[in-house]
Structure 1
Amino acid sequence: MIKLNQNYWTPVKLSLQISSVAVLIVLIIGIAAAIFMTQKNFRGKIVLETIMLLPLVLPPTVVGFILIMVFGVQSPVGQFFEALFGQSIMFTWWAALIAAIVVSFPLMYQSAKTGIQSVDRDIEEAARIDGANNIKVLLAITLPLSIKSIVSGFILAFARALGEFGATFMFAGNLPGKTQTIPIAVYVALESGKVELAWLFVITIIIISFFMLILTTIIK
């Protein structure tokens, strides 16, 4: 029987840490994007929304490739971060975080948008007639009435960030203690012939994902 040593706990803690930070960031930008896209009409709106949703359908390796092209040392963005931090952002904890944010954002955005669109516009207009400004309407009516969809998106985004493999592996690499998340640890353990350790990781992520999905069912 394999012991639950550092080889097990480190990837688990790292995955939970990255997923937690990523989903908090995605919660903010996902809601902000959903509010903006539901309230504004402009040229190219469909194109912009399609771009935001692309990580849902693109292969993870393609997402990883794009991240390398955007943040790599040869790109202006990559050179900016290298000048700012004194090192490339690739193969760091931050790279793993960015990958998690990119792949989980569409789920948060889509859920938040669905919730906001489901709010009765008559209720919002009635609040405005009573003197509430747009911010008060948003905070007192729109978001509270959208809370189930937002929470559902939050949970799904967390689960997606937790399970991210391809983009993280390409962009952040496999650095134990820094970028080796549970999905990468499963791959490494299996490649190394450590099947029992791989099973531990698999069971761990299945249990977490199972309870995440149960929560989304309960709140609906």
Structure 2
Amino acid sequence: MFKNIVALVFAAATASASLYVRDTGSNPALRVEQAVANVTGNGVTGSFNFVPATGQTGLKVSINVSGLKQGLQYPFHIHINVVPADGNCTATGGHLDTYGVKTANTAYNCDKTKPLTTCEIGDLAGIAGNLTANANGQATLTFNDPIITFGDNKTTILGHSIVVHNPDNTRLACGNIVGYALKNPSTPSSHTGSSQTESDSDSSDSKSSGASSAAMSAALAIMAAAIAL
């Protein structure tokens, strides 16, 4: 009986994971359901997970970063360019600011109550606050950003990167934002978009993160049904 339950759980997880495909822009009909950025650099590792915010505009952002120093403030932003193969975070360019909110002649001050008019689209820390690590050097944060999307040309996060900064704003760690879509969406979506390609290792990690939630839910459901028999 136990062997049968294990087999059912494995089958459910495999089937659920196969529903997702890494969106490289080759099929505009794909519906992006999730995006993931795995950041690395200078002993820091972490993940940024993006999904549509329930009942709200924008995206829900979940962050987990390790290797930080306790008590320090670490800003983080979406940057314009992708991280190159050599991992150089400086090559990611400036913050994503397609509406030109930040200008040379005016002091920049992101007001999270007026994000569309006062915040750069990439200023995630301006909306949620900086990352602060605990005694283990880990920082976690979850928030809704009302601006960012998977689809609109001006507000999409796809094809860009995440940079975690030191307290002095030098660049500490970075990673590309990769979108994942359902292979066969049943309904049209406003979240259609594409993502920039990256290394095979990053792709594998991100794809696993993108499909894990759906796979686990299906697996647990089948396990519960099997145990009840």
Q: Calculate the TM-score normalised by the size of structure 2.
A: 0.25
- Bigger Rg, structure 1 or 2: 1
More helix by share: 1
